[in-house]
Amino acid sequence: MILGTSRAVRVWAFPRPTDLRKGFNGLYGLVQNDLGRTVLSGELFLFVNRRRTGCKVLVWDGTGLCIFQKRLERGRFAELWREDGRPVRLTASELALFIEGCALVGSRTLSPDALVSTPLGSDR
């Protein structure tokens, strides 16, 4: 399975450190109760441990829940936690860069704004 194959896929980074011993039910509960999102929407949910050396991505693929997990052998993942407790929204490309260990994810915009279609003949 390829994570986030389209720009239309929404990725939400959980806004604080997560105990990565949590499995399907624990992460599902965090998404539903803390983020107020629906896990079965097809959106991707990123969780990172306190040391920022491990991450998990929870996603519904249409037939069941999937967890992708990675542990860095050197270095740390970018810090995506926010003081206001709101989740950070990432693009699929930014998620891929995050998983590769890119330190810029979350600190600056790495993807252009999405294009908004307008009807033909309307003023922009």
Task: State the pTM of this model.
Answer: 0.81
At 60 the pLDDT is 93
Residue 110, in any domain of the structure = no
Rounded to a whole number of angstroms, the CA Rg of the chain reads: 15
Residue 54, in any domain of the structure = yes
Residue 81, in any domain of the structure = yes
At 1 the pLDDT is 41
Residue 49, in any domain of the structure = yes
Residue 120, in any domain of the structure = no
d(CA 83, CA 74): 26
List alpha helices for the chain, DSSP H. 24-29, 92-100
- What is the per-residue pLDDT across 78-100, written as a single tens digit (0 to 9) for each? 988 888 888 989 988 889 889 98
At 115 the pLDDT is 57
At 37 the pLDDT is 95
Taking residue 88's Cβ as centre, other Cβ atoms within 10 Å add up to: 19
Print pLDDT tens along the chain (124 aa): 456 556 678 899 999 999 999 999 999 999 999 999 999 998 999 999 999 999 999 999 899 999 999 999 999 999 888 888 889 899 888 898 899 888 777 545 545 565 567 777 766 5
* Full domain range(s) for residue 63: 11-100
Q: Which helix (H) or strand (E) holds 10?
A: none
At 39 the pLDDT is 94
Residue 83, in any domain of the structure = yes
Residue 119, in any domain of the structure = no
Q: Exposed, middle or buried by CB within 10 Å (0-12, 13-18, 19+), for 93?
A: middle
Q: How many domains in the chain? A: 1
Mean pLDDT of the chain: 85
Taking residue 1's Cβ as centre, other Cβ atoms within 10 Å add up to: 7
Residue 25, in any domain of the structure = yes
